[in-house]
Amino acid sequence: MLISMNMFLLGAAEHHTGLNTGDIIFQLLIFVILLALLRKFAFGPLMGIMKQREEHIANEIEQAEKHHQEAKKLAEEQRAFMKQSRQEAQALIENARKLGEEQKEQIIAAAREEAERLKEAAKKEIEREKEQAVAALREQVASLSVLIASKVIEKELSEQDQAKLINEYIQEVGEGR
Amino acid sequence: MEHKAPIVEWLGLTFNLSNILMTTITSLIVFIIAIAATRSLQLRPRGMQNFLEWVFDFVRGIINSTMDWQTGGRFLTLGVTLIMYIFVANMLGLPFSVRFGDTLWWKSPTADPTITLTLAVMIVGLTHYYGVKLKGVQEYGRDYLRPMAFLFPLKIIEEFSNTLTLGLRLYGNIFAGEILLGLLAGLATNGGVFGALGAAIPMMVWQAFSIFVGCIQAFIFTMLTMVYMAHKVSQDH
């Protein structure tokens, strides 16, 4: 069978012009068919997925950039917040100190005032006591001297004259003191 | 090393059945690789998907080096298909060739000028098509008179020489590689023990080199495709 085929082929080759027109057409046809099939079944989907990947990656990069930006913003906010709270704490401490100072001043002033008042009261008391004592003494001295004088002079002087005399005398004593 | 080609005629067209077979197999392999790589697509690529995405990035690099992505983006699938197709085609002839009698059946399809020139004509045709489509007939026509009007004949010749070199470069490289592989294989099978020993090392070296050449040619073909395309498509040239 092989040989007979060869014979057939050789027979055909005898009036072969040299240009394989059939080959040309077949080659063109099969290449175009191959191209079309590949494009439909293999390359189309592959390019689709490559495109998809490209988009995916671009998306991811964008997302990452966005996240980065957000994190940066957040950190900035946090920093500002921290600064603010530190300032607030400082202010609070300052206030407390001022308040303490004020209270101290107040307490000291109140204490001083109280002391002054007490001193004043004590002084007044002393003054009054002294006056009382002087009055009591004066009375005592008067009656005593009357007693003595009446005893000494008996009836030579009236009681009024005697009181006058004693008053003068006491005046002298008060001035001399 | 004369081989007969399995030629048949049908409907007034001449077919080289070996070419038909090999282009079909090449297309099948490319298709299977692509489908296997994209069977379970994931956002985080794994295994084969990584490989295909690497190919895409590679071709994207080629396109970006010749034109801006705005106009070049539409040629990405064309470029990937081209580079994979030509690479697989180049590799197919390397491990072995299959012969029935005198007729060569299994070989690189790119070791046939008909195939490579067909590809080249298709590419150049596409560049003209996109040139007209993207720049309009007037701009496209005026490009033939740039930079100087008297260069017009050269511009016409350039189109044909581009096509020829694009196709024949690929064909020549791969065909030469296969011829030498065939010679070495002949030496190994016909030269007895010493022949086999003597052929083994050069064969390995040459196969390694052919793999290299196959990669380079696939890259060059795709690169030149994009260069010609950029010539026709980009605005400032």
- For residue B109, which residues of chain A lie inside 8 Å, CB to CB? 27
- The three-state secondary structure class of A156 is coil
**Comparing A77-86, B106-115, B220-229, which segment has the lowest mean pLDDT?**
B106-115
- Return d(Cα B170, Cα A123) in angstroms, integer: 135
| Whole-number pLDDT of residue B97 | 66
- For residue B23, which residues of chain A lie inside 8 Å, CB to CB? 26-27, 30
Q: Among B2, B18, B27, which would you mutate to test the A interface (most chain A Cβ atoms within 10 Å of its Cβ)?
A: B27
Select the more confidently predicted residue: A92 or B155.
Answer: A92
Average pLDDT, chain B: 82
Instruction: Give yes or no for a contact between B230 and B130, defined as CB atoms under 8 angstroms apart.
Output: no
CA A29 to chain centre: 83
ipTM above 0.85?
no
Per-residue pLDDT at B93 exceeds 70: yes
Q: Among B2, B13, B26, which would you mutate to test the A interface (most chain A Cβ atoms within 10 Å of its Cβ)?
A: B13
Inter-chain CB proximity B34 and A42 less than 8 Å:
yes
- For residue A46, which residues of chain B lie inside 8 Å, CB to CB? 37-38, 41, 49, 52-53, 56
Per-residue pLDDT at B161 exceeds 70: yes
- Return d(Cα A2, Cα B157) in angstroms, integer: 46
- For residue B101, which residues of chain A lie inside 8 Å, CB to CB? 2-3, 6
Per-residue pLDDT at A131 exceeds 90: yes
CB distance from A7 to chain B under 8 Å? no
Per-residue pLDDT at B94 exceeds 70: yes
A37-63: average pLDDT: 87
CA of A51 vs chain B CAs: smallest distance (Å): 10
Interacting residues of A104 by C-beta distance below 8 A, sequence separation 6+: none
Instruction: Give pLDDT tens digits for B15-72.
Output: 777 888 888 888 889 888 888 888 877 777 777 888 888 888 898 898 888 888 888 7
Instruction: Give pLDDT tens digits for A60-95.
Output: 999 999 999 999 999 999 999 999 999 999 999 999
| Whole-number pLDDT of residue A23 | 79
CA B74 to chain centre: 19
Per-residue pLDDT at A154 exceeds 70: no
pLDDT band at A1 (very low <50, low <70, confident <90, very high): very low
Q: If you measure CA to CA, which chain A residue comes closest to B29?
A: A34
- For residue B34, which residues of chain A lie inside 8 Å, CB to CB? 38, 41-43
Q: Of the candidates B13, B116, B119, which has an alpha carbon nearest to the alpha carbon of residue A22?
A: B13
| Whole-number pLDDT of residue B4 | 66
CB distance from A57 to chain B under 8 Å? no
- Return d(Cα B161, Cα B68) in angstroms, integer: 26
- Return d(Cα B209, Cα B180) in angstroms, integer: 11
pLDDT band at B112 (very low <50, low <70, confident <90, very high): confident
Structure tokens at A156: 């030579």
Inter-chain CB proximity B19 and A27 less than 8 Å:
yes
Q: Among A6, A7, A25, A43, which would you mutate to test the B interface (most chain B Cβ atoms within 10 Å of its Cβ)?
A: A43
Place of tokens 């396109």: B63
- For residue A41, which residues of chain B lie inside 8 Å, CB to CB? 34-35, 38
Instruction: Give yes or no for a contact between A49 and B44, defined as CB atoms under 8 angstroms apart.
Output: no
| Whole-number pLDDT of residue B1 | 44
pLDDT band at A52 (very low <50, low <70, confident <90, very high): confident
Q: Among B39, B81, B108, which would you mutate to test the A interface (most chain A Cβ atoms within 10 Å of its Cβ)?
A: B81
| Whole-number pLDDT of residue A156 | 66
Structure tokens at A123: 């002084």
| Whole-number pLDDT of residue A15 | 41
pLDDT band at B219 (very low <50, low <70, confident <90, very high): very high
Which of A8-12, B3-7, B90-94 shows the highest mean pLDDT? B90-94
Per-residue pLDDT at B192 exceeds 80: no
CA of A48 vs chain B CAs: smallest distance (Å): 10
Instruction: Give yes or no for a contact between B3 and B103, defined as CB atoms under 8 angstroms apart.
Output: yes
For strand B103-106 and strand B98-100, is the pairing parallel, antiparallel, or unpaired?
antiparallel
| Whole-number pLDDT of residue B237 | 47
B68-90: average pLDDT: 86
Per-residue pLDDT at B158 exceeds 80: yes
Q: If you measure CA to CA, which chain B residue comes closest to A24?
A: B118
